[in-house]
Structure 1
Amino acid sequence: MYLTRALHRSLQQQPDQVVTIFRGRHHTYREFCDRVARLAGALQALGMQPGDRVGILALNSDRYLEYAMAAWWGGGVLNPVNVRWSVPEVVYSLDDCDTGILVIDDQFLPMAAGIRDTARRTPVLIHAGDGAAPDGMLSFEQLVAQSAPVPDAQRGGDDLAIIMYTGGTTGFPKGVMQTHSTLWCGCLQRMADTPPVRGGRALHANPFFHIASMARVLNQFLAGEAHVIVPMFEPREMLETIERERITELALVPTMVQMLISHPDFPQHNLGSVRRLGYGASAISAAVLEQTMEKLPGVDFAHSYGMTESMIVTTNPPENHSPAARAQGLHLSAGCAGIGIEVKIVDPEGNEVPRGTVGEILVRSAGVTPGYWKRPEDTAKALQDGWLHTGDGAYMNEQGYIFIVDRLKDMIVSGGENVYSAEVENVLGRHPAVAMSAVIGVPHEKWGEAVHAVVVLKPGMQAAEADIQEHCRAHIAAYKCPKTVEFRQAMPLSGAGKILKRDLRAPHWGGKTRAVN
């Protein structure tokens, strides 16, 4: 199995069907595949060898998909860079997997010099904007126009396809590896549970560096359907695009759903083409779900649970969003294990717990990662006896439905983005006035959770909330920075000297369990 096989099928059967639509720019499969083959040739000419890593730092666009497919067509491995990261974070990921070529669009041109000057291996920079390429960068469009097409390398199976960086409890991002085979299997499992909408048009608004968005892209390619793309989520453009392009399928995080239905322009647009809305990445409140279902009658709603290491694990289907099912609370479930996927809930010793008992979710499937890039210890910890240890806490009912109740790791989910407390704490620890810190998630009406820092200052030192926040913004992405800072004289500690984060959370959550399904 190789990911570009989907392109060959569509080129054979429907060469003149439109495959990408981006702000008035349309490409058919014939045009798309030609551009991919030419760009693959350009990447090879720039030095990309089989298995070499190539990166992209860009907002969503048709060029993003062309580049991803060109990397695979040419035999490379894609490193889709998190667009929320600072220059040091971007450079860390490039250095970690030795990325030699990097595409940058107009949005991130101000970061180019910093990346070029600080990366251990200076990457070849390709400009993916509409204007002329800046000095020191190659033009994406010129490379496509001037390069000869090359045959598909057809790297597949257990060959590495993508490295997706996710936060780690060590404070450094970990490169999650996925092969052509694991991505293929993950997509087929998803399609078996949730068949594609025939003649469907999916609107891509979630960033392509997320596994959920990339998997949806691959599903659309496998089904031979059209991709409609917006650079990023913006409610007004979303509404206009849904109506104009007759979108049939949406996939949004709950905060996006809420912003979409609450936008003042919502009543002015005809969204009758939408047939399915998938949501995930964080909890959705019952009120928002009810409002959305009321405002989008006739739309099928489905909730999915998964992670970068596993792709989709469970799906809660539309029938569990009916009035009768909601009365039973089934809409609060993450669903059951998908086709070809095994899930079990275990205690700390690895023993499966009785139904209704909270434990850790373990997953086994052909879509699970083979491990973390150059992190054998982390890989061995996460993958044991063929089972992926997710670090997520949940219970399973008698029918096999999984109800997620908490993160076993100290992860904060803010607006669909994962924030790892250890990473923020490492930055706080570099502030000259901070003696000790703990980062927790606190309830936030808009984002679900907000990052909250509890800080103990060094004796005789002073610092204000703004000082702490400014320090963090200089080292990590804005979404990871504390929205609020609390100063204490001392931390609650366990007998072993560990900070008791549950005691810090309790006043904010009113004794309730953080529900992050």
Structure 2
Amino acid sequence: MSDTVACLYEGLNKDPIALAAIEGDRSLTYQQLVTQSEALALALRDALPAGVPVALCAQNTLEHLQSFLAILLGGFIWVPINPKNGQPLNRHLLDSVQPALILTDSTSVKSLPDHNFTQWLLDDSQDNLTLRIKPYLNQSFTPTTPNADDVMGIKFTGGTTGTPKGVIQTHANVNAVIDHLQTLYQFQQDDRNLAIAPLTHGGSHYILPILAAGGCHLLMPTPDVNAITQALKHQRASISFMPPTLIYKLLDETDINAEDCPHLRHITYSAAPMPPERIQQFHQRLGTKLSTLYGQTEAPMTITAMAPEDLAQPHLIASVGKACAQSEISILDENLNPLPHNQVGQIAVRGAIVTPAYFNAPHQTREAFHDDWLLTGDLGELNEEGYLFLKGRAKEMIISGGFNVYPAEVENIIAQHPAISECVVVGIADDYWGERVEAAICTHPGQAIDNEELLQAVKTQLGSVKTPKQLHHFATLPRNPVGKVVRRDILELIERRV
């Protein structure tokens, strides 16, 4: 079993002067990363009570990496906040967890509400990380030694109602993920992880196992297809975790091929499905180097994994792999009874990666579990070999560009417009986004709206990912005999218009 806190020191012991992280023209060796992370951990210990939540809202930068490690080494609870969220959403998240401090940067602070929470700005000229840690550099430091069941982080997801929920992730949960990732990737000292996906999300799980192996993180604050291409060609990037949309950009907007990136071992897609024809296109261009993972915040990253050589097999190209070593899968019918192979039902998982609970939400925790099985809300089937095939979602969640979008959350914002009488947000199958967010709306008689004005209002509140790509005007919405809106009928109506 891995040890979260020990990972950084394992890399240090392999080679203190090796590069641990690179961001643009800046870099840190293992010795520098350890020294500066420990100093920040001491600064946090001086400023805060032991073990309190500390929020981290930042781009993929060296400061973000150091802050994450300092929270971990200092024994605090990590609360990642997505800087791509709108201010109202982030206000709700911060209010619910009440962090003792927010670590942020000059770009990400714009996504945070004006609030009473104390903030440390990591890259401001007057109050930056270098000045903050200077008094603590090279002081004696003892990292926290956590118990397996101690809370490492509280990560936010959403529910079918659209209300975000804080998911508790313990050190035992994260240790299991590290072991699963090491089994899939066999991380090596010469590996370079191209960190494109936000470190506030699934990308964070690569930080510790790469450091334990003595590898290097290539941090990219803004996903840019040209910069990604250069990293693959010239910076020896060997591993990268990407949403399918970025992989499509690589394939569609560049001429990159296998000969251009001889160090590449894995590009891993997750967070959204990838059509088989796109997987085949990847294989033709970049070879058998595409892998996939399936997980969710409540069971992070590694419910299942699929190695590149397996994904290259035609009969497995639509699969998301087999259960990882410390995960067990069952497919359940509507009565939560196990189903045999090759029958579609709700995916349930149990094992070391599964959260013990939602944060301050005992009722939601009870609803999420059946006996000791976590009900994922996803639909799938297992074949005789144990490979899982996703078939959709029992919940109404939309996955667009690798991000979760909950319809009710978007509907609540649209419904605030005085001209709107009713709206329903749906996900439309899309080869590029996985699903694109669109909305069916009805207006009050005699009233009209400016589509662009309404969409801009949603973007301001929730961010661009959750903003509908298109609004569809209807006089009425289809309903069933008891008066409930029928979403599948709305989907059919929209698809006829496309």
**Is residue 2:176 matched to residue 1:185?**
yes
**Is residue 2:158 matched to residue 1:172?**
no
**Is residue 2:192 matched to residue 1:201?**
yes
Work out whether residues 168 and 423 of structure 1, in 8 Å CA contact, stay in contact via their aligned partners in 2. no
Partner of 1:234: 224
Partner of 1:126: 120
Look up the SS of the partner of 2:217 in the other structure. Answer: strand
Question: Could you tell me how far 1:473 is from its partner in structure 2?
Answer: 2.5
Post-superposition CA distance 1:76-133 (Å, at most 9, x none)? 1111111211112112211111112112213234456xx2x3x3xx22222222x513
Partner of 1:513: none
Letter of the 1:461 partner, please give it. Q
Structure 1's unaligned 5+ residue stretches are: 511-517
Divergent runs of 4+, >6 A: none
Work out whether residues 362 and 387 of structure 1, in 8 Å CA contact, stay in contact via their aligned partners in 2. yes
Question: Could you tell me how far 1:398 is from its partner in structure 2?
Answer: 1.6
Work out whether residues 437 and 469 of structure 2, in 8 Å CA contact, stay in contact via their aligned partners in 1. yes
Work out whether residues 158 and 406 of structure 2, in 8 Å CA contact, stay in contact via their aligned partners in 1. yes
Letter of the 1:288 partner, please give it. R
Question: Could you tell me how far 1:228 is from its partner in structure 2?
Answer: 1.5
More off after superposition, 103-112 vs 57-66? 103-112
Work out whether residues 331 and 339 of structure 2, in 8 Å CA contact, stay in contact via their aligned partners in 1. yes
Partner of 1:45: 46
Post-superposition CA distance 1:423-472 (Å, at most 9, x none)? 11111222212222111011334322211111122234322422432332
Change (3 A) 1:286 1:431: same
Written as runs of structure 1 = structure 2, the 5 A alignment for 1:14-413 is 14-47=15-48, 49-111=49-111, 115=113, 117=114, 119=115, 122-129=116-123, 132-133=125-126, 138-148=127-137, 149=139, 150-197=141-188, 199-210=190-201, 212-264=202-254, 266=256, 270-297=260-287, 299-311=288-300, 312-322=302-312, 325-326=313-314, 328=315, 330-413=316-399
Partner of 1:501: 487
Look up the SS of the partner of 2:107 in the other structure. Answer: helix
* 1: CA distance, partners of 2:338 / 2:200: 34
Look up the SS of the partner of 1:406 in the other structure. Answer: strand
Look up the SS of the partner of 1:441 in the other structure. Answer: strand
Work out whether residues 11 and 215 of structure 2, in 8 Å CA contact, stay in contact via their aligned partners in 1. no
* 2: CA distance, partners of 1:476 / 1:189: 33
Work out whether residues 39 and 143 of structure 1, in 8 Å CA contact, stay in contact via their aligned partners in 2. yes
Letter of the 2:376 partner, please give it. T
* 1: CA distance, partners of 2:40 / 2:369: 36
Look up the SS of the partner of 1:479 in the other structure. Answer: coil
Post-superposition CA distance 1:41-61 (Å, at most 9, x none)? 1112222x2221111221101
Aligned residues: 492
Work out whether residues 435 and 457 of structure 1, in 8 Å CA contact, stay in contact via their aligned partners in 2. yes
* 1: CA distance, partners of 2:32 / 2:70: 13
* 2: CA distance, partners of 1:279 / 1:206: 10
Work out whether residues 281 and 305 of structure 1, in 8 Å CA contact, stay in contact via their aligned partners in 2. yes
* 2: CA distance, partners of 1:470 / 1:193: 42
Question: Could you tell me how far 1:479 is from its partner in structure 2?
Answer: 1.4
Letter of the 2:155 partner, please give it. M
Work out whether residues 22 and 230 of structure 1, in 8 Å CA contact, stay in contact via their aligned partners in 2. yes
* 2: CA distance, partners of 1:106 / 1:279: 30
More off after superposition, 422-431 vs 500-509? 500-509
Work out whether residues 443 and 509 of structure 1, in 8 Å CA contact, stay in contact via their aligned partners in 2. no
Look up the SS of the partner of 1:99 in the other structure. Answer: coil
* 2: CA distance, partners of 1:11 / 1:290: 40
Post-superposition CA distance 1:169-194 (Å, at most 9, x none)? 22221111101111011221232344
Look up the SS of the partner of 1:247 in the other structure. Answer: coil
* 1: CA distance, partners of 2:130 / 2:95: 27
Post-superposition CA distance 1:392-417 (Å, at most 9, x none)? 01111122111111111111111111
Look up the SS of the partner of 1:255 in the other structure. Answer: helix
Work out whether residues 54 and 71 of structure 1, in 8 Å CA contact, stay in contact via their aligned partners in 2. yes
Post-superposition CA distance 1:346-392 (Å, at most 9, x none)? 01211011222111000001011112111111111112311111000
* 2: CA distance, partners of 1:354 / 1:437: 39
* 2: CA distance, partners of 1:240 / 1:405: 36
Please, what TM-score do these two structures have when normalized by structure 2? 0.94
Letter of the 2:17 partner, please give it. D
Post-superposition CA distance 1:18-59 (Å, at most 9, x none)? 211111222222211111110001112222x22211112211
**Is residue 2:441 matched to residue 1:455?**
yes
More off after superposition, 88-97 vs 256-265? 256-265
**Is residue 2:418 matched to residue 1:425?**
no
More off after superposition, 165-174 vs 10-19? 10-19
**Is residue 2:422 matched to residue 1:436?**
yes
Question: Could you tell me how far 1:9 is from its partner in structure 2?
Answer: 2.6
Letter of the 1:292 partner, please give it. F
**Is residue 2:1 matched to residue 1:7?**
no
Aligned-pair RMSD on alpha carbons? 2.0
* 2: CA distance, partners of 1:370 / 1:50: 22
* 2: CA distance, partners of 1:154 / 1:2: 9
Letter of the 1:357 partner, please give it. Q
Question: Could you tell me how far 1:237 is from its partner in structure 2?
Answer: 0.8
* 1: CA distance, partners of 2:268 / 2:171: 24
* 2: CA distance, partners of 1:334 / 1:264: 27
Work out whether residues 220 and 226 of structure 1, in 8 Å CA contact, stay in contact via their aligned partners in 2. yes
* 2: CA distance, partners of 1:395 / 1:268: 33
More off after superposition, 190-199 vs 274-283? 190-199
* 2: CA distance, partners of 1:268 / 1:188: 29
